[in-house]
Structure 1
Amino acid sequence: MKKTLLFLTMGIIALFISACGNSNGDEPAEKDNNMEPIEAKLDVPEKSGKGQAVALSTKVTQGDENVDDADEVKYEIWKSGHKDESEMIEAKHEKDGVYTAEKTFDKDGINTVQVHVTARDMHTMPKAEIAVGNTEGEDQDHGGDDGNDHQGHHESTVSIHLKKPDTVKAEEKADWKVHVENEGEALEGAELRLEIYKEGQEKHEWVDMTPGEPGEYSVTYAFPEKGSYNVQVHVTKGEEIHEHTM
């Protein structure tokens, strides 16, 4: 059986932790964070000629709302068997939640296009394959290429919503929550861990999260001292899915 690793990194979330102490002013009201996941519909052609410009398009939504304020949308592109040589292309926001870019492929072969969308404290990364020019003799099932199982024009969707505390102070406990969906369904039975490390230090702390409602996981954590921290979310589940982004 193949062990599945669903490894999601919510980019690098820099946290500037203040010193512990009382506030003389009113505490900010807790925001009503929308836990509905974002969705990214990746649109690329299944085939293209060598040397032709290919339009890459992704529509980002949250429920019935177009997401026009994404923090980052990038297209990662690599040729089969060469994930370590992938190219990143910044997308441009057009309108109505649509983010576009263009790529000209100068060599024949099977290529993977994966869009990395970060918006509203969530991350999703669907992918698809495009056959460029003459691909005779190339196997379009590249399960071992980048650790993902592809079948033709395969597209997979994973979204994660990290709900950060409104106020974080050193040595004070705060609640962290994560909502995870896979293919539009709540991801249950997964193992979630937060990887937390301070800027400039090699020591990383791993904090296990506890499952609650379907697809929701939580933990209470206190940062040991003030400073700037990075927080990454890691999600693992037994089999059938293997997604990763750095």
Structure 2
Amino acid sequence: MKKLLSLLIVSIMITTGCSNEKKEPVVEKPVDVNILLPTSDINLNKEITIRAEVSQNHKAVSDADEVQFEIGKNGEDSIAMLEAKNGADGIYSATYKFTNPGDYYVIAHVTARDQHSMPKKDFKVQTTSSTSNSNGEKKEHASHSGNDHHGDVMIHLMGTENIHVNKENLFTIHLMTNDEKPLEKANVRIETWKDEQAKHDYTDAKEVAPGEYEVKYTFKEKGTNTVKVHVEKDELHDHTVKELTVN
């Protein structure tokens, strides 16, 4: 009888102990939203495409509940709320035409996977994409090379958060044309450096899906580093530059 009672007490203690164990909460990765605007000038009375790239843990989120673009002029109330259309690779887009020049902003309202994100981006709307010199001749905006073609491709670099020194980091590069088609079979590479006097490294990226390229790189120094994405295909030669912090 005593033995049976002892076994009963031990069983109760084990059951109580198990029930008191705390379960580790499941931490959901945050949903990242990046607003993509045309790389060329935004001009009056010209329809542009505004895009939001939605991802979670570096993977495209194509099942967002709602994506809207709020457009407004700095210092004033918003002037438009656009419903975005779902595109490929987690990219949502809407078109808009500006009728007044000035400084504007766009806020992407994204609801996805029980999370809400509201990133904001400022930009300028100009009256024209060219200026006149003293002789009245039109002069196009300068680019980094006379043979470069800008504004034909949207370049988005992902994987720039939580970068650590002496650890291989994976970057994902998405390329899309202005008519919302992935840019395939391009020559893509990244140029990296710590400061202008330091050595510049060049690393080729590999296309893993239509318009999606991946490249791995290991930073040797902490602090602010620069990554420059080069894109070349036929007559197209474009780039984008981003500074990131290496921990």
TM-score (norm 1): 0.48
**Counting helix residues as a fraction of each chain, which structure ranks higher?**
2
Determine which structure has greater relative contact order: mean sequence separation of CA pairs < 8 Å that are 6+ residues apart, divided by chain length.
1
Q: Which has the larger radius of gyration?
A: 2
TM-score (norm 2): 0.48
